[in-house]
A and B are shown apart, each in its own frame.
Chain A
């Protein structure tokens, strides 16, 4: 089963990279892009009997390793119908 984990800086944490990307977009002529937050994206292949179990494991590894709870939060999507429904 595949879990996707999106890690982003918490809203309260300043994101100097995102700000710089936003500045570059404004220079490129996209003033309508008002804010950019940069983050990380992980695809996890998980051997799990159910989507719930895959989600539980993805959440556990996100807490332990993928995200630093001091500055980051994460969101998980589990897709159990992909890759021929495995």
Chain B
């Protein structure tokens, strides 16, 4: 299968995502410049981490108007898997493919550390190869990861099982201490109502080989591959 990794000016995890897809998983991967109006026939799209357009104004606020985003929206509307990692998640929120918004971390600090993340849902393209309740050790690196949504939106997210990842302790307890940024309901990642668009603050692409401290992110990339293979079978 073929991954498209979107490159905004200021993206800095684009090469990590490309490396994970191509060199760790052995899949095809292409970079797509944010001004390109085509996704190059990709089966899945990754919006990578970084600081698109310098994060001026708000994180993701300028990136949502990059020409490629119209294509990404059309791809998502057609059911294609779209994954937003960290800054990519923030772009998905700004463009409205996922509900809510990010506030500054409650610590006011840029949090750069490994955290534990519990997989809540396994029927998304990013978690198909995971077990429900599986705890992943993944790095985070963000200043604005404090997820916010109005109470009724949060209730709807929970009702629709759209919370895909939650910050948790090593043994999977969802506690306030395990919440690194103050996110509502310990939310670390979400999916769209149709479940094909997934955003998360942790960086699975930086945790695909034991040499970098954790290979727990690999299951998420494998999920995308499995999901695309499934889509093809159905088609």
Residue numbers of A with Cβ under 8 A of B are 9, 12-14, 16-17, 20, 40, 65-66, 68, 70-71
Contacts of B99 in A (CB 8 A): 70
Are B108 and A14 interface neighbours, CB within 8 A? Answer: no
- Choose one: A14, A16, A66, A70; the contact of B101 (CB below 8 Å): A70
Contacts of B170 in A (CB 8 A): none
Are A70 and B148 interface neighbours, CB within 8 A? Answer: yes
Tell me if B94 counts as interface (CB < 8 A to partner A). yes
Are A13 and B100 interface neighbours, CB within 8 A? Answer: no
Q: Closest Cβ of chain A: how far from B85's Cβ, in Å? A: 20
Contacts of A16 in B (CB 8 A): 103-108, 146, 182
Contacts of B93 in A (CB 8 A): 70
Are B104 and A68 interface neighbours, CB within 8 A? Answer: no
Are A13 and B148 interface neighbours, CB within 8 A? Answer: yes
Contacts of B108 in A (CB 8 A): 16-17, 20
Q: Closest Cβ of chain A: how far from B24's Cβ, in Å? A: 35
Q: What CA separation (Å) do A66 and B62 show in the bound complex?
A: 10
Tell me if B161 counts as interface (CB < 8 A to partner A). no
Residue numbers of B with Cβ under 8 A of A are 57-58, 61, 65, 93-94, 99-101, 103-108, 146, 148-150, 182
Are B58 and A13 interface neighbours, CB within 8 A? Answer: no
Q: What CA separation (Å) do A25 and B93 show in the bound complex?
A: 34
Are A70 and B103 interface neighbours, CB within 8 A? Answer: no
Q: Closest Cβ of chain A: how far from B88's Cβ, in Å? A: 17
Q: What CA separation (Å) do A70 and B184 show in the bound complex?
A: 14
Are A71 and B57 interface neighbours, CB within 8 A? Answer: no
Known: A13-B148, A71-B148. A66 touches B104 (CB 8 A): no
Are A68 and B61 interface neighbours, CB within 8 A? Answer: yes
Are B103 and A71 interface neighbours, CB within 8 A? Answer: yes
Q: Closest Cβ of chain B: how far from A13's Cβ, in Å? A: 6
Contacts of B105 in A (CB 8 A): 16
- Choose one: B65, B104, B149; the contact of A70 (CB below 8 Å): B149
Q: Closest Cβ of chain A: how far from B61's Cβ, in Å? A: 7
Q: Which residue of A lies closest to B99 (CB)?
A: A70
- Choose one: A13, A20, A65; the contact of B103 (CB below 8 Å): A13
Q: Which residue of A lies closest to B106 (CB)?
A: A16
Contacts of A20 in B (CB 8 A): 108
Q: Closest Cβ of chain A: how far from B2's Cβ, in Å? A: 33
Q: What CA separation (Å) do A28 and B146 show in the bound complex?
A: 28
Q: Closest Cβ of chain B: how far from A9's Cβ, in Å? A: 8
Q: What CA separation (Å) do A13 and B103 show in the bound complex?
A: 9
Q: What CA separation (Å) do A32 and B146 show in the bound complex?
A: 29
Q: What CA separation (Å) do A38 and B16 show in the bound complex?
A: 35
